[in-house]
Amino acid sequence: MDLKTLTQKIQKQNYFASGHRTCAGCAIPIIVRTVLAASKDPVIVVSATGCLQITSSIYPQTSWNVPWMHSAFENASATISGIERAYYFLKKKNKIKTKIKFVVFGGDGGTYDIGLQSLSGALERGHNFVYVCYDNEAYMNTGNQRSSATPYGATTTTTPNGKKVFKKDLIKIVAAHNIPYAAQSAVHHWSDLYQKAEKAFQIDGPAVLNVFSPCQLNWKFPSDSAIQISKMAVETCFWPLYEIENKKYKLNYQPKQKLPVEEFLKLQKRFSHLFKPENESIIKIIQDKIDEEWKTLLK
């Protein structure tokens, strides 16, 4: 599907309406609309507590034009599991004939950390749903506290001098559950995200999408730069685009010229301290880790 046709399809689909309260330049609405447009069937959505939930459902308004439920940080995957099982029970009783898809949206706090146990349980049980993590690499809704998705060296309110450990690898964790499909995408690459979401909805069983979601407010960059930053994350291999289908890895994009990680880091004030002379060694540590992971992925 060409970009023009995809854009028209996303704009025509009105599952997630305008008028929400996300920050100017937020990547999350783009991710939500792109993912939901990829389903050929009606969808039921569960949102874990987080930026998306609080900005899309402030009483008495809502941006959701689909059946939607807010669940706590720790149990969004358990909630969708119950809804999915109820659907199959009613379908077995011939009380529902419509084909319905199920999707969870959660941030990194509700996915990498607080919600990991319920996600792991739902994946192990084999529930038929799509889990989408919009990864903005910290607890943004509550004031930019570090999460296990926060990258090495990034400042947050709880790591003011930069985080001292590398971020958790979510895709490796979910892939270890032997699920049929897991993939990493980024907000700037609409066609990649759409195709992966489309595949995730078609698969019988659980699927996980981890989507790079720059945060204008707490990464501290201009509100019109989210797409540029997302692109630089991929061009520097800080955030590779790949998928794992039935245990087989596939690299979806390889930069023509792999750029140094400084090109990504310098666009955000959360990394500005790294460019002081005394912190040059930290940038080298980050670059070495990226090079190591990229080499492994290419294999």
> Beta strands 207-212 and 130-135: pairing type?
parallel
Mean pLDDT of the chain: 96
Q: What is the mean pLDDT of residues 120-135?
A: 98
Residue 14 confidence (pLDDT): 80
The pLDDT of residue 118 is: 98
Looking at residue 281, its pLDDT comes to: 96
Structural contact between residues 83 and 130, judged by C-beta atoms closer than 8 angstroms: no
Q: Do residues 11 and 214 make contact, with C-beta atoms less than 8 angstroms apart?
A: no
* pTM score of the predicted model: 0.96
The pLDDT > 70 percentage for the chain reads 100
Residue 248, pLDDT score:
96
- Are 33 and 56 a contacting pair, CB within 8 Å? no
Does residue 6 surpass a pLDDT of 90?
no
In the prediction, which pLDDT does 13 show? 76
Residue ranges with strand state E in the chain: 43-48, 68-71, 101-107, 130-135, 181-186, 207-212, 242-245, 248-251
pLDDT of residue 43: 97
Let me know: does 180 contact 245? Beta carbons within 8 Å: yes
Which token pair is 11? 């704009």
| 165: Cβ contacts below 8 Å, ≥ 6 apart | 152
The answer, yes or no, to whether residue 11 has pLDDT greater than 90, is no
- 269: pLDDT strictly greater than 80: yes
Is the pLDDT assigned to residue 201 strictly greater than 90? yes
Per-residue confidence at 10, pLDDT binned at 50, 70, 90? confident
With H, G, I as helix, E, B as strand and everything else as coil, classify residue 245. Answer: strand
Query: Quick one: angle between helices 28-37 and 190-202, nearest 10?
Result: 50
Q: Give the whole-angstrom CA distance, residue 191 versus residue 9.
A: 12
| Helix pair 28-37, 3-12: axis angle to 10 deg | 90
Quick: pLDDT tens for 151-198. 999 999 999 999 999 999 999 999 999 999 999 999 999 999 999 999
Distance separating alpha carbons of residues 271 and 287, to the nearest angstrom: 14
Average pLDDT, integer, range 14-21: 88
